[in-house]
Amino acid sequence: MPEPARIRNVAVVGHRGTGKTSLVEALLYQSGAINRLGTVEAGTTVTDSDDDEHERQLSISLALAHASWQERKLNLIDVPGDPSFQGELRTAARVVEGMLVTVSGVMGVEVGTSRAWKLGDELGLARVVFVNMLDRERADFFRTLEHLRAQLDSNCVAVHLPIGSEHELTGIVDVLHMCAYTSPEGAREADPAPIPDEMSELVAEYREKLLDSVVETDEGLMERYLEGQELGADEVAHALKEAVTRGEIFPVACGVATKNLGTHALLDLLVEGVPSPAKKGSPIDVDGASTAAFVFKTLADPFAGRINLFRVLKGRVSADTTLVNLRSKAKERMGTLLEVQGKEHKPALDFAEGDLGAVAKLKEAQTGDLLADKEIEVEVPDFGFPEPVMSFAITPKAKGDEEKMANAIRRLAEEDPTLRLRRDPQTGEEILSGMSQMHVEVALERAKRRFGVDIELHPPRVPYRETIRAQARARHRYKKQTGGRGQFGDCEIVIEPLPDGVGYEFVDEIVGGVISQGYRPAVDKGIQEAMQHGELAGAPVVGVRVRLVDGQEHSVDSSEMAFKIAGSMAFKEAYAKAQPTLLEPIMELEVTVPDEAVGAVNGDLNARRGRLQGMEPLGGMTTIKAEVPLAELLTYAQSLTSMTGGRGEYTMHFLRYEEVPAHVAQKVIEEARREREAT
């Protein structure tokens, strides 16, 4: 196993459709890790191995692969770019020292580029940019470079330049090593060649820009450079690496992944530019332990069971290592260690500090768990997973498959923590939430394919609430006389709105013992049961204070049951007189869209009864903040996709409950009444 100084851990990230999977494939091919160059279209790439990834021609789960270059081990994590699977980006970023950010030479900086870049800033990761697809129509490396400098960081510096453009692209120049590579058209790139004469002026210009950027970060080099001394390639490469490690320079490479153009120079750059685990240190402080590993991804395999991907934080993990799960305190024996290459894995003896590997059949380790050779006090970092924004009610197609469905979704949620399954206590529905409709649909396809359970989606019910706007009084006497002992309970209550509109308060104001102490809690219980289903739409009633002010009991016939029923009926009578009203959940919505779509999106939000709270433009995109009723957002994802050509995305979370406007409330109440009559 390689030592920490000889390992490079790199997450390949970026917007969807920028060629991340093709680039990983090309890097594996150029380095000799694989013998043929697979394609996404044919479903033959190493890192897109699931059937659903082949069908949709996009990455759904992160995938780990590795290559060797210049006697270094390069661990590459292919990260999905679709916002539906952005939890995978957060997961991968926790265990790498560097990001390889892919950008389309046609589209430039997109939403997914900015998201990944921001996370790189947060975590202090080194970043290398690869401008891909330069053989496409309207692709322009120099325009994209300006985009990168304007929208991401002014320290983005070209280290490679294209030879030619669009369909006439014939190769690339490595400005750092002053050599050229001609397009191999899908074969392995040949050894470096001399730079074409017609490129000499342009190369000299960009070589100077690169040297200016590098020497600015190193005083010793700066002095020699200003004195006109020639700087050696190794010196420049060393200074560049230091600057990339510190986040002072972001090298920009270029090429065409599908033709394997630019990969030789990119492999050199990753080895020379991205810091090793030895240089950067552990991403989690595990002082006190001599061996520790961090589980960053769980794969739910119906045959092999759970496979956990991990990073060795300290020491060396071998097949006979026993570690303690710091969350559950259970001991885990690291039995079958695996070297992962996409879907394929082969047994491994051990993994050194800083390396990424896999282990099968751990008892209970899951994503985010820390395993150490002894119990230590350590703060495990939060992945910062985004909150799900789309929710659906789910039911199994076959009767009696409820438990099978819940187990399948639970297993998939171990693999992808941005999937959430919960039971809505108000509506009784099983609610599956995810980052988009596609995210949830993919989970259901996997549940069927892997666990043999067919699941149907339905729009969830909106969890309305009811409340009152006025005070009201009611008295109810429950009296029942049949043979033998009767039933008698009599209570008078006053109901009034609570100032903050939430919760429930029961106030016992009985004077003189007209209702015995033992029966008063029964009145409270009856009222609370009645409040579970309000009379307007059958929704729970909130924001009510109930004062028990009077009543009567019978020395023989009174019982807890009688007072419970009396309390329930008194509440219903008072409620009808207290100006009952319907409440709906209001969500805080944050939408990021291209500038040209702002008008359409704002108009749409207004039509959804949204209230705009502000806008923040940044680099061709605008973030819109608004407060919108949940009922109006159940179909928002599809609308946003069509308004922005798939370039918009949003997050939302619950803010508060608010009164439903009368015309909308009437429709909801009518719908609830029809449902009640139909059952």
The model's pLDDT over 423-475, given as tens digits with 9 standing for 90+, comes to 887 778 888 988 888 888 888 988 888 888 999 988 888 889 999 999 999 99
Whole-number Cα distances in Å, 138 to 25, 172, 620: 25, 18, 18
Please name the residues in contact with 352: beta carbons below 8 A apart, sequence gap of 6 or more.
1, 2, 3, 4, 7, 312, 316
Give me 146's structure tokens. Answer: 């300006």
Question: How confident is the model over 173-199, as pLDDT tens digits?
Answer: 999 999 999 999 989 999 999 999 999
- Residue bearing the bigger pLDDT, 497 or 47: 497
Question: How confident is the model over 124-170, as pLDDT tens digits?
Answer: 999 999 999 999 999 999 999 999 999 899 999 999 999 999 999 99
590 backbone φψ class: left, alpha, beta (φ>0; ψ -120 to 50): beta
DSSP symbol at 84: G
Q: What percent of the chain has pLDDT over 70?
A: 97
Question: How confident is the model over 278-316, as pLDDT tens digits?
Answer: 999 998 888 889 999 999 998 876 666 788 999 999 999
User: Among 251-265, 331-345, 552-566, which range has the highest average pLDDT?
Assistant: 251-265
Instruction: Give pLDDT, residue 302.
Output: 64
Question: Domains along the chain?
Answer: 4-279 (3.40.50.300), 292-372 (2.40.30.10), 390-458 (3.30.70.870), 466-578 (3.30.230.10), 582-664 (3.30.70.240)
Question: How confident is the model over 500-539, as pLDDT tens digits?
Answer: 888 899 999 988 889 998 899 999 999 999 999 999 999 9
How many angstroms separate the CA atoms of 679 and 599, rounded?
44
Which amino acid appears at position 72 of this protein? R
Q: CB of 7 within 8 A of CB of 355?
A: yes
* Mean pLDDT across 629-658: 87
Give me 455's structure tokens. Answer: 């699941």
> Helices 636-644 and 598-607, interaxial angle, to 10°?
160
Beta bridge partners of 658: 584
Q: CB of 314 within 8 A of CB of 282?
A: yes
Instruction: Give pLDDT, residue 304.
Output: 66
How many angstroms separate the CA atoms of 241 and 75, rounded?
18
Q: Where are the beta strands (DSSP E) in 226-335?
A: 250-254, 292-301, 305-314, 317-318, 322-325, 331-333
Smallest Cα–Cα separation from 116: which of 136, 130, 135?
Answer: 130
Query: How many CA atoms lie within 13 Å of 369's alpha carbon, on the beta-carbon side?
Result: 25
Instruction: Give pLDDT, residue 54.
Output: 64
Q: CB of 164 within 8 A of CB of 105?
A: no
DSSP symbol at 97: S
* Mean pLDDT across 600-611: 96
How many angstroms separate the CA atoms of 61 and 49, rounded?
10
How many angstroms separate the CA atoms of 79 and 387, rounded?
19
Which amino acid appears at position 62 of this protein? L
